[in-house]
Structure 1
Amino acid sequence: MHLSAIHHVAIICADYERSRRFYVQTLGLRVIAEAWREARRSHKLDLALPDGGQIELFSFPDPPPRPSYPEACGLRHLAFRTPDLDACIAGLAAHGVAAEPVRVDEYTGRRFAFCADPDGLPIEFYEG
């Protein structure tokens, strides 16, 4: 088996338009494709990451909430690498998104900070 990269991460949101604004306008991800799937009453939005990976943003009627934050079994958080954490935090703030205080990874010495997407999914910004 040869795995070369993560192709995509799929996220289900509660409010499609609110989450679309966050991922496209706040985080600046480029839209690859967008579709309304009538049979599922679901939106599907494909977003491009700079490294070639993608985020798939889905909406479904009445999705259950996350069981806890963030130690529930399953995806803990989504992390983005950034060359400039301070600029990233400033960009979030310009869109009204508060980041948690900057921390330092005890093993790598690199700085990182978290914010939450509109549904409370932890988003990490890792400097490096």
Structure 2
Amino acid sequence: MKTNGFHHVAIICSDYAKSKHFYVNILGFEVIQETFRAARRSYKLDLKVGDNDAIELFSFPDPPARPSRPEACGLRHLAFEVNDLEAIVTDLSAQGIAVEPIRLDDLTGKRFTFFQDPDGLPLELYER
């Protein structure tokens, strides 16, 4: 199988307004399209993350909780590549987002850190 990369990452949130605010206003992702699907009582928000990257943010009535910690099987975290890690950590912290201390990847020598979205989804910032 030959792929061209990721098309999108889909996230189901528990509070659509809170998650939309987080991903659009705090993380700064551009809205591509927002759709309300009445038959499903669900929103689908397409967000531009990078030049060719997207997140689909979904709302569904009463989604079940997904175990996340400690190291549950499945998606471990979503990582965003950034140019200036310290500047973004400072900005997130100023907006009340708890960010873990910056660490060094033993294998690559790159700096990284973690924070969480409103539903506790682990998000990583990885310095380019």
Q: Provide TM-score, normalisation by structure 2.
A: 0.96
Distance 1:94 1:27 in 2: 12
Distance 1:51 1:91 in 2: 22
- Judged with a 3 Å threshold, the aligned counterparts in structure 2 of structure 1 residues 28 and 122 are, in CA distance, closer, same or farther, namely same
Residue 53 (structure 1) aligned with residue 60 (structure 2): no
- Matched with 1:17 is 17
- Matched with 1:122 is 122
Distance 1:60 1:70 in 2: 25
| RMSD value, Cα | 1.0
Question: What's the CA shift string for 1:6-40, capped at 9, x where partnerless?
Answer: 11000000000000000001100000000111111
Distance 1:69 1:55 in 2: 22
State the shift of 1:90 in Å.
Answer: 1.1
Q: Provide TM-score, normalisation by structure 1.
A: 0.96
Runs of 4+ in structure 1 over 2 Å off? none
Q: Which runs of 5+ in 1 are unaligned?
A: none
Decide which moves more: 18-27 or 88-97: 88-97
Give the AA of the match of 1:95: Q
Residue 68 (structure 1) aligned with residue 68 (structure 2): yes
- Matched with 1:81 is 81
Distance 2:112 2:66 in 1: 23
Q: Which runs of 5+ in 2 are unaligned?
A: none
State the shift of 1:68 in Å.
Answer: 3.1
Map of 1:31-42 to 2, 5 A cutoff?
31-42=31-42
Distance 2:21 2:78 in 1: 17
Q: Percent identity?
A: 61
Secondary structure at the aligned position of 1:17 is classed as helix
State the shift of 1:84 in Å.
Answer: 0.6
Secondary structure at the aligned position of 2:92 is classed as helix
- Matched with 1:97 is 97
Distance 2:27 2:102 in 1: 18
Distance 1:36 1:123 in 2: 26
Contact 1:29 1:49 in 2 (8 A): yes
